Structures are given as C-alpha cells and as structure tokens.
Amino acid sequence: MVRRILNLFRLARILRERGNWPLIRRSKRQLRDFILGQSGMHRSSVACALWHGFYMLKSLDVLVWRLETFGFLFPPHHTGEDRKQLNRYL
C-alpha cells in the first residue's frame, strides 16, 4: 500500500519533468479515457478502472512505459530539440 502511494508521487514527479504538455493539453479527453478505461473495445466501469489504476501503481515501470508509448511522456534521453521535433505535427 505504501509502495503504491510512493509510486503515485514518483509518477507526478515524472510527469512534471518529462510530460509532453502540448500533447496532453491537446488530447485531454483521450488521456482521461485512457485512465478511466473507456478507450478501445473493452470498456470498463469507473470503479474497475480505478482499481486497475491502483493495481498498476504497484509497478511504476509498466505505467511509465505505457505513457511513453502513447506519447504522453518523453523518453528520458530526449533533449529540447528532440521534443520540439516530436511535437512538430501537433
């Protein structure tokens, strides 16, 4: 339980440091649907999605990897120039 709470704070710090804020501002609804489990073919209830999110906080690496895959987080080795290049088509 304590590990999940600490991982939540770590995730907030990672979002502050590496978050792709232009993409997040542009696609707030997509991110909300991703968090609440409403995107894709398998739609889940809000309670089930919150439980799944709480379960995902047990392993922060997987959650960060999924956010990097969807572009909401920049990889740690990208510089400011690379970030501008990635967001060029927004």
| Domain residue extents for the chain | 2-86
Q: Please identify which residue in the block is written with the tokens 């990897």.
A: 65
43: DSSP letter: -
Predicted TM-score (pTM) above 0.85: no
Question: Which string of b and e fits 4-24 if b means at least 16 CB within 10 Å?
Answer: eeebeeebeebbeebebeebb
Whole-angstrom Cα distance, residue 41 to residue 39?
7
Kindly state the average pLDDT of the residues 44-69: 82
13 pLDDT more than 90: yes
CA 50 to chain centre: 14
**Average confidence (pLDDT) over 5-32:** 88
Beta carbons of 19 and 73 less than 8 angstroms apart: yes
Stretch 47-76: mean pLDDT, rounded?
83
